[in-house]
Amino acid sequence: MNTAATDRPRILITGAGGQLGWELQRTFAPLGNVFAFDRNGLDLASPDALRARCREINPALILNAAAYTAVDKAESEPELAMRINGEAPGVLAEEANRLGVPLIHYSTDYVFDGAANRPYRESDATGPQSAYGLSKLAGEHAVAAIASRHLILRTSWLYGNRRQNFFLTMLRLAAARDELRVVADQIGSPTWVHSVSAVSGRCVMSHVSGFELKIPAGIYHLTAAGSTSWHGFASAIVAAMPLDQRRAAYACHITYGGETRHLEARPTTTPYTVAPTPIGSHFLFRIIFRQEPAELASIKLYTYTKHDTGPVIIHQASYPYPVRNTAPQGDFLRREASSLAGQGTDNGFTGLNLVYETVHDSELQYWCELKADSAK
């Protein structure tokens, strides 16, 4: 009979439905038998349910990643937030002490007042400004006072590939909206949830009978290095997206008669419905931007001159999409297009193009770029 599986130490993880809880399951699965529970499987607002679950499993390690995380809603539900964030960690600490096992508890930067102009240190005075922050601080105090073998890991601005978080929200909005407006007056350290989970795994040492902490019990700040605003974070997210995943616009800057017009074209699936735009008294300009189907993905530019019988095309250019930094194909220019110094940049800069119309001896100039939306 193979008893290896049953002999492995048991690990209790709360908050299994959250992004951190999900990562912790992946990190700790090789170290023992993981028993992970989300809010449906374990009611943290019920001390009796918590105690019963701990005594059913008898874990060798407890990781508390569960929390009441609705920061704004906590203002109207402070009692519930306190039961889950403040009192439940104390119950888990009691059970950890009874079993003589380590407890790793996750907290937040909301335990501070946010007024510092430098990164907070573990030794800094706390001063929560919200019901959520007060409840999380109460949980820290309970764990520190009760559990002799504990780690309290404070983190901030967690993001990952699961559940709802700022990172995934920005990806979704950038693909759907022309403009994103994000605040720039809050500063923090966006932290990849996988890193928090991986570091947690390195904080313990497993052996046949259970787990030992590799570092002294206490409070530790666990965030990514550096800092930025929500606006800066959003801008970095959008900038890192492939152009064909962003809601992009092809922008042309057209100068005629000393004035410059700025035209933008969004992707269209019905190119023949795109009407040309009048430029001065003699020209019309049209941009056709297609992203799908893939075999027709392209950006086509047309310049027309006005005639008594209707618009007459005098220039066209076609670029494959995504844009390649090459000269236009099928160019009907009366003059050769000249290049500006910016040609060859990542946004598909076309260089300066000159279009000459002989009947009225008129000329327009244009250059175009592929623009992906960014946070504002």
Residues with catalytic roles: 132
- Please write down the HEC assignment for all residues of the chain: CCCHHHHCCEEEEECCCCHHHHHHHHHHHHHCEEEEECCCCCCCCCHHHHHHHHHHHCCCEEEECCCCCCCCHHHCCHHHHHHHHHHHHHHHHHHHHHHCCCEEEEEEHHHCCCCCCCCCCCCCCCCCCCHHHHHHHHHHHHHHHHCCCEEEEEECCEECCCCCCHHHHHHHHHCCCCCECCCCCCEECCEEHHHHHHHHHHCEEEECCEEEECCCCEEEECCCCCCEEHHHHHHHHHHHCCHHHCCEEEEEEEEECCEEEEEEECCCCCHHHCCCEEECCCEEEEEEEECCCHHHCEEEEEEEECCCCCCEEEEEEEEECCCCCCCCECCCCCCCCECCCCCCCCCCCCCEEEEEECCCCEEEEEEEEEEECCEC
